[in-house]
Amino acid sequence: MQALGPLGLRHEDLWHITRGELHDMIIANNYRRYLELEDKALSAIFTGLAFNGDAEEIYALLGSWAGNTVMNNAQKAKFIKDLARAAKEAKRNGANP
């Protein structure tokens, strides 16, 4: 049988893989694509330096890897605030059962 997409799964593999394993494979594939885009962004930065004498910050071009996905600066700031709120809430609930 033919492989399905970039994860390299065949149709019959879908019957033998757990949701957790599939989720991990998707995250790993997304991270691999992020690293490939990082290389391309670095090339764009070096090209900008060579021709214009200035360059963008890499994360302005690419975004940041956070929370198993790529986020821009505003999304990353919200994600970090949400994590801090959740940690504070968990600590409050754990301290006062």
- Which are the contacts of 85, defined by CB distance < 8 A and separation ≥ 6? none
Mean pLDDT, residues 11-25: 83
Residue 83 CA to residue 75 CA, distance in Å, equals 12
Residue 10 CA to residue 8 CA, distance in Å, equals 7
Residue 3 CA to residue 23 CA, distance in Å, equals 18
Residue 19 CA to residue 84 CA, distance in Å, equals 28
Q: Is the pTM of this model over 0.85?
A: no
20-69: per-residue pLDDT in tens?
888 888 888 888 888 888 888 888 888 877 777 766 677 777 788 877 88
What is the token pair recorded at 46? 């070096």
Q: Phi, psi at residue 78, to the nearest 5°?
A: -65, -40
Q: Please give the pLDDT value at position 84.
A: 92
8 A C-beta contact, residue 3 and residue 10: yes
Higher pLDDT, 22 or 7: 22
**Residue 85's pLDDT band (cuts 50, 70, 90):** very high
**What SS3 state is found at 65?**
strand
